[in-house]
A and B are shown apart, each in its own frame.
Chain A
Amino acid sequence: MCNLPIKVVCRANAEHMSPSGKVPFIHVGNQVVSELGPIVQFVKAKGHCLSDGLDEVQKAEMKAYMELVNNMLLTAELYLQWCDEATVGEITHARYGSPYPWPLNHILAYQKQWEIKRKMRAIGWGNKTLDQVLEDVDQCCQALSQRLGTQPYFFNKQPTELDALVFGHLYTILTTQLTNDELSEKVKNYSNLLAFCRRIEQHYFEERGKGRLS
């Protein structure tokens, strides 16, 4: 969205390379910056900012909605991937451990699962059932859908960081095949969110050629 030239590289140990333990991170010159927030600030410091046109109240709302997405969608995705037994067994373990040889793939997968479960318990999601999680996702999507309304982007004409974040999450939810499609069904219920995703994909990804999409 900022028209910055990037090269996407996939690595199995990306998490461990990152300074904060989280992906994504960017490597620019001799600097490594991880996670969306710091990356946005870094890019802003270099002079590209998407939310310059917003006033203070709108910026507050944007931050709030970004937190909402992080809070609900991200946690729900983690839950579904790691705390839902069927998905874990069939998809996540296999996927997470795939770059590693035999004993390591199981060990690392279990370790990650244990970590995520601990985190879920700490934030109170440990006792939630899948349906409650799906309800939360639905609620979140509804909030996003209402906020988006009929506008092309969340803050009218120009895309902002919120649009990028929402697109990232929704696109992943919609296009990842899991044993359980409830999550993507929930998102599909909101037609304006679907249209939003499609619009961004067409506008920013397909124009530049399919090669950009990893």
Chain B
Amino acid sequence: MPLSRLTTPASGGAPEFPLLRQQSANPPPLPHQAPARPPLQPPPPPLFCFHGDRRRGAGSKHNALWKTCGSGGPPPRSPGAGPSPEWPRSSPGHVQLGRSPQNKARRPRSPTPRPAPSSGVQGSPRPRGPDSPRRPWLAAASPEARDPASRRPPPRKSCAAAPCPQLPTGVAGGGAARERAGARGEVLPGQRAPKMAAPMELFCWSGGWGLPSVDLDSLAVLTYARFTGAPLKVHKITNPWRSPSGTLPALRTSHGEVISVPHRIITHLRKEKYNADYDLSARQGADTLAFMSLLEEKLLPVLIHTFWIDTKNYVEVTRKWYAEAMPFPLNFFLPGRMQRQHMERLQLLCGEHRPENEEELEKELYQEAGECLTLLSQRLGSQKFFFGDAPASLDAFVFSYLALLLQAKLPSGKLPAHLRGLHNLCTYCTHILGIYFPWDGAEVPPPRQPPAGPETEEDPYPRRNQILSVLAGLAAMVGYALLSGIISIQRAAPARDPSIRALGMAEEDEEQ
């Protein structure tokens, strides 16, 4: 069929598809068109958005907002966590009202507080014009973001429209948030409230092996949140049944809605103006999509295989961690169930046709993954992050894959060895870990190894327990023997008594 058919609208033969939403009677505004006209459907496609100069006040106070619970309380983040606090944050609750424009320097986390109001006013028209053609990719990249959280009309327009007096907004909106902030323990003067409603809560697997989280998806979402400085209340839990959606990671938005697909979580964060891809050009945005697909196709099966299917790794590392971390009744069956789910997923990903021979399958998988890692390494080159000096969402995903491979002490696996050979990827990982998760390296050790203290102390405990249990056993046996009459001491006692009495009487006689 020649393509000349394309010149005529194809609507001649095809009936209007009933499933089409009524709103799509007009095609949604194309991302590369300037979103000048209001979106036709309630969930407006463009999200991206820029803005958000998320400035924060004093770094240390900001940190407390993050509330990473579950790891022995947030350690005083003072100097160690230098870079992280300075991420600017917008007031997502008041998207329409003052948002200072996103500035490039935001990302390198320079702590210089920008004069928010003035830049806001001047800057707000800026992102609209040149950026909208630049960022159509980002605008469209919110496929799943149809949740009701997109109740806000495209913030960009309103931002430009409003003169954006940020201080008054801050005062008005900030009051409520300040109460909340005050409730949380810090008040940042001039800081605008992050949310009108409750803060977003992220439930994810807790940390292990030197990482903030042991699960791939949770780690990616956490890293992205750290990159953008989103004020999330992070709950690190080990019981997936306690998360609001039954699986981890899960994000409870400020409106109570629960999102549990990682890509959707990130899209939601983007909508809330915590966007790490703000500065990417269209081409880089396209590259991001492509590389994420590459990761999912090539690296993900191998990761699943390494952690869940490979017997040695599974028994010694994965299952051990999960069984130790989960609360009592779950640790018996949940790891096994998770393994079965992963196995099924791997089979479906790889295809049913693959050779049944596990070794061949493994070899093929690892070969492709090795190539993928090499490609990533070549793409990264000697840059700090994949797209220059500031981290983007691709960095979050790549980091989560690589960090798991590098940090978990896997007894068997060619891939970590291959990865260690790619030095720029290793430095990349340690760099991100050091900057964005500085205390997590320290969080894990305290419970585990104040210099081998607990470990050495644990030994005497077992010894003591052994001794106590032996004594208890003996006492139980003796007691049982006495009670059941196997041994009886009573006969000896009366025998003794008369003799004692006799002696006593004899003494008395003698005395008398």
Contact = CB atoms under 8 A, between A and B. Distances in A.
Contacts of A22: 351, 353
A68 B31 CA distance: 19
Interface stretch (A6-14, A57-65, A95-103, A105-113): A57-65
A197 B17 CA distance: 26
B21 A198 contact: no
Interface stretch (B118-126, B165-173, B294-302, B485-493): B294-302
B10 to A, nearest CB: 5
B290 A67 contact: yes
Contacts of B17: 86, 179-182
Interface of B: 1-3, 5-6, 10-11, 13-15, 17-21, 24, 27, 30-32, 45, 136-137, 140-144, 146, 261, 282-283, 285-287, 289-291, 293-294, 296-298, 344-345, 348-349, 351-354, 371-372, 375-376, 378-379, 381
A94 B20 CA distance: 23
A86 B18 contact: yes
A104 interface: no
A185 B283 CA distance: 23
A142 B32 contact: yes
B137 A67 contact: no
A139 B140 contact: yes
Contacts of A84: 19
A132 B143 contact: yes
Contacts of B297: 67, 70-71
Contacts of B352: 21
Contacts of B378: 56-57, 60
Contact of A21 (B45, B286, B345, B351): B351
A122 B345 contact: yes
B19 A130 contact: yes
A1 interface: no
A138 B375 CA distance: 26
Contacts of B345: 122-123
Interface string A136-156: 101110111011010000000
A143 B294 CA distance: 14
A91 B378 CA distance: 45
A50 interface: no
A118 B341 CA distance: 13
A104 B344 CA distance: 28
B283 A146 contact: yes
A146 B3 contact: no
Q: What DSSP secondary structure best describes chain A's contact surface?
A: helix
A65 B142 CA distance: 19
20 contacts: A21-B351, A57-B381, A64-B375, A68-B290, A122-B349, A123-B348, A131-B146, A136-B143, A139-B137, A142-B31, A142-B136, A142-B286, A143-B286, A143-B289, A174-B6, A175-B1, A177-B10, A180-B17, A180-B19, A201-B2
Interface of A: 19-22, 56-57, 59-61, 63-65, 67-68, 70-72, 84, 86, 118-119, 122-124, 128, 130-132, 135-136, 138-140, 142-144, 146-147, 149, 171, 174-175, 177-182, 184-185, 188-189, 194, 197-198, 201, 206
A72 B141 CA distance: 13
A64 B140 contact: no
Contacts of B31: 138, 142
Nearest to B298: A67
Contact of A139 (B289, B375, B379): B289
Given A21-B353, A63-B371, A146-B286, 10 more contacts: A61-B287, A67-B290, A72-B289, A118-B348, A147-B290, A175-B1, A181-B17, A184-B10, A201-B2, A201-B3
A123 B353 contact: no
Given A64-B287, A143-B137, A131 B379 contact: no
A185 to B, nearest CB: 7
B3 A175 contact: yes
A177 B294 contact: no
B353 A139 contact: no
| Interface-centre pick from B17, B20, B290, B354 (highest chain A CB count, 10 A) | B290
A51 to B, nearest CB: 13
Contacts of B32: 142
A68 B140 contact: no
Nearest to B140: A139
A210 to B, nearest CB: 8
Contacts of A178: 14
A144 B261 contact: no
A68 B291 CA distance: 8
A32 B143 CA distance: 39
A64 to B, nearest CB: 4
Given A56-B378, A118-B348, A198-B3, A132 B290 contact: no
A20 B314 CA distance: 29
Contact of B353 (A19, A128, A185): A19
B12 to A, nearest CB: 10
B289 A135 contact: no
A132 B287 contact: no
Contacts of B283: 146-147, 149
B348 A179 contact: no
A20 B20 CA distance: 36
A117 to B, nearest CB: 11
